[in-house]
Amino acid sequence: MHFGASWYPEHWPESRWPRDLALMKRAHFTVVRMGEFAWSTMEPADGRFEFGWLDRAVALCEQAGIDVVLGTPTAAPPAWLTSAHPETLAVGEDGRTAIHGNRCHYRPLSPVYLRYCRRIALEMAKRYGRKKCVIGWQIDNEFNHQSHDEDTRRQFQDWLKVKYRTLARLNDRWSGAYWSEDYQDWRQIVIPTAWGHNPGLRLEWQRFHTTTYRLFQKVQIDAIRRHADRRQWITTNLMGWFPLFDHYQVSRDLDLASWDSYWPTGTPDPVEDALPHDLTRGFKRRNFWLIETQPSSVNWAEINTMHEPGRIRLRNWQAVAHGADAVLYWQWRNALGGQEQLHGSLVGQDGEPRPCFDELAGLGAEFRKAAPHLKGTTTAAEVALVNCYDSRWAVGFQRHHKDYDWVRHFREHYAPFFNRQVGVEVLSSLVAPDRHKLVVAPALWLLHETTAKNLAGFVERGGHLVLTTRTGAKDAENALFPALPPGPLAALAGVAVEDVYPQTAPVEVTGRFKGRAKIWVERLRVAKGTEVLARFGAGCDWVKGRAAVTRRRSGRGSVTTLAGWFEPPLLDAVLADVMKAAGVRPRFSGPPGVEFSVRTDGRGREVVIVMNHSEKAVRLRPVPGRALLAARPRGPWTLAARDVEVFA
């Protein structure tokens, strides 16, 4: 377990640094993150490097027994670079070139920019690649830009050429004859605008960002690896559900997945908070770092709520419960100037601890206590939810109902497991489910052959699969299959979708499960041998009396198809039924707002983390193990509002 913050010594006189380190020790810090954004201090003029200050800051950390993660500063190019090379600045969709003074406003594919990035990464690695207290590297900061410049466009065209080989093939796959959208020359291909372009083209442009950022980070990874000890890991800080690129692919070249989690408003939503942790754990199917999170408020929300005492501790424990092996705050101390002077920090403008400090220092002490127990463990999960970027993007381009938000759909199918204390792994759609009993594939609109094969294999081996609306309508190039959905999964599911019906009002569901579907229902043709478990009632005459939930058994496994986006109580009932069929048994139950999460080493050693997200104290049944954080009675016990206990 690591605990720390982003520290920007370059904002302060060196005479101040020892005091910072002493306060960090008081907060039980084990690590600081430094360097990202400090390009102009490391290289004040083209090719003139000044690392003396960083050497001394790193040395102070080493003396204090605090490890260091170094960020490459490439998210914040210095003014000498952007003014000498304006061609490194990103061009927006509106054709305007970015101006200096922001972050990530570079062209990620600019050869000139990449040359400078490589050089600064190399210089840093030469200097710190063997430094004992430097344990890892962070490339750049929150990749988030795309550029619409002509050079990027040419690279996109070249990339398409490699992928499609012939224009005839590309034109065919994108239905080019439609609206005369076919191309006679690769150089005619445009960068699509967010509105109104060909779905095939839009999907490829989106996918191109994955290639872009893999390439962008690879330049720096290679530079660091030339000089760094193997024990130093490399990550980049991701942003949970951020949609720009496929996070599974970008994580491939990294040693560790890490992400930045912020809660702009004060309203807690434990489900919404938990899911991106599970998502990030899935990027490398390993524990991750929460490499940035707020110690109190942010500065960029409409209302920058200061969270109530105990909330940050609780949420940070939740991250650990879902697989975080480190929690780092952003930031240690707010600079007196700059865009983020009002952001939350542990130390204030006077250099002294802010009111949140003691809560967080207490958490540092708790992590220290729990660390030996958590070592070698990860979040237990018998259930997987399949995440497919292509489907998400494709639905995003063509929602067909303004409220068909793919991530929300995903989250609503995650919630029943969360609410029943059942651990979930979020699995890439290109990875075969292995250790799972139950797999839910929400809105798998775009179905790759590999995914269809993996899911069929899972069911053959006795797995229980749940399919939802919009599944299997499209192929890998975002064209409709010339067959009814769920296309390649139709035989396995034993249904075919005759048509879809976006709704303005709920549609009733009756039968073994009763409740309502909202915004979306589908009309199923049911094959012989497929059971109908529930039917649609009033609300949409096209589907009235027709199947709303079906199940097809296949060996020891089954496929359950949901022909509507169900309201939460109905969805909960259906998924509880599938859990039963799949032999997924919740081990804990508690009042609403209480979360139980198990981390296991896979060999019987377990840590149970119990979190009370509610504003009321709760009485709970005994949990196996010894309470690590507070003295607890042997029998039934009370967990205060916003409190946490850890049993090992």
- Point out the residues that are catalytic: 142, 292
Q: Which tokens go with 452?
A: 């269809």
Residues 533-572, interacting with ligand GAL (CB under 6 A): none
d(CA 402, CA 400): 6
Q: What are phi and psi of 502, to 5 degrees?
A: -60, 140
Q: Find the shortest distance in angstroms from Cβ 291 to ligand GAL.
A: 9
Q: Is 260 in the site for ligand GAL (CB under 6 A)?
A: yes
Do residues 20 and 9 touch, judged by C-beta distance below 8 A?
yes
Q: Is 330 in the site for ligand GAL (CB under 6 A)?
A: yes
Q: Is 503 in the site for ligand GAL (CB under 6 A)?
A: no
Q: Is the backbone of residue 642 left (phi > 0), alpha (psi -120 to 50) or beta?
A: left
Q: Is the dihedral of CA 125, 129, 131, 137 positive or negative?
A: positive
Residue 559 forms beta bridges with which residues? 465, 552
Nearest position to ligand GAL, beta carbon: 298
d(CA 194, CA 200): 13
The candidate with the shortest Cα–Cα distance to 69, out of 151, 3, 144, 168, is 3
Task: Identify which of residues 330 and 406 has a Cβ nearer to ligand GAL in the complex.
Answer: 330
Task: Identify which of residues 49 and 262 has a Cβ nearer to ligand GAL in the complex.
Answer: 262
Task: Identify which of residues 266 and 462 has a Cβ nearer to ligand GAL in the complex.
Answer: 266
Q: Is 262 in the site for ligand GAL (CB under 6 A)?
A: yes
Q: Find the shortest distance in angstroms from Cβ 34 to ligand GAL.
A: 12
Q: Is the backbone of residue 387 left (phi > 0), alpha (psi -120 to 50) or beta?
A: beta
Task: Identify which of residues 330 and 536 has a Cβ nearer to ligand GAL in the complex.
Answer: 330
Q: Is 343 in the site for ligand GAL (CB under 6 A)?
A: yes
With CB under 6 A as the contact rule, the residue among 340, 475, 498, 531 that binds ligand GAL is 340
Q: Find the shortest distance in angstroms from Cβ 494 to ligand GAL.
A: 46
With CB under 6 A as the contact rule, the residue among 41, 74, 88, 141 that binds ligand GAL is 141
The CA–CA distances, whole Å, from 547 to 208, 480, 534, 536 equal: 40, 23, 6, 6
Q: Find the shortest distance in angstroms from Cβ 50 to ligand GAL.
A: 22
Q: Where are the alpha helices (DSSP H) in 477-625?
A: 490-493, 568-582
Q: Find the shortest distance in angstroms from Cβ 223 to ligand GAL.
A: 22
d(CA 170, CA 163): 9
- Residues 329, 333, 336, 340, Cα dihedral to 10°: 0
d(CA 180, CA 188): 13
Q: How many CB atoms lie within 10 A of CB 190?
A: 15
Q: Find the shortest distance in angstroms from Cβ 24 to ligand GAL.
A: 19
Q: Is 273 in the site for ligand GAL (CB under 6 A)?
A: no
With CB under 6 A as the contact rule, the residue among 20, 43, 142, 149 that binds ligand GAL is 142
Task: Identify which of residues 262 and 637 has a Cβ nearer to ligand GAL in the complex.
Answer: 262
Residues 398-437, interacting with ligand GAL (CB under 6 A): none
The CA–CA distances, whole Å, from 279 to 258, 273, 431 equal: 11, 11, 14
Sequence-ordered list of residues with C-beta below 8 angstroms from that of 411, at least 6 positions apart, any chain: 271, 272, 275
Q: Find the shortest distance in angstroms from Cβ 347 to ligand GAL.
A: 16
With CB under 6 A as the contact rule, the residue among 60, 64, 104, 298 that binds ligand GAL is 298
Sequence-ordered list of residues with C-beta below 8 angstroms from that of 644, at least 6 positions apart, any chain: 313, 314, 317, 609, 610, 611, 612, 629
Q: Is 645 in the site for ligand GAL (CB under 6 A)?
A: no
Q: Is 140 in the site for ligand GAL (CB under 6 A)?
A: no
Task: Identify which of residues 258 and 451 has a Cβ nearer to ligand GAL in the complex.
Answer: 258
d(CA 486, CA 466): 12
Task: Identify which of residues 209 and 436 has a Cβ nearer to ligand GAL in the complex.
Answer: 209
The DSSP secondary-structure symbol of 480 reads B
Q: Is 10 in the site for ligand GAL (CB under 6 A)?
A: no
> Which helix H or strand E contains 25, and what residues bound it?
helix 17-26
d(CA 299, CA 93): 27
Task: Identify which of residues 172 and 340 has a Cβ nearer to ligand GAL in the complex.
Answer: 340
Please tell me whether the peptide bond between 249 and the residue prior to it is cis, using omega within 30 degrees of 0.
no
Task: Identify which of residues 88 and 141 has a Cβ nearer to ligand GAL in the complex.
Answer: 141
Q: Find the shortest distance in angstroms from Cβ 447 to ligand GAL.
A: 34
Q: In residues, how long is the chain?
A: 648
Chain residues binding ligand GAL by CB under 6 A are 141-142, 260, 262, 292, 298, 330, 340, 343
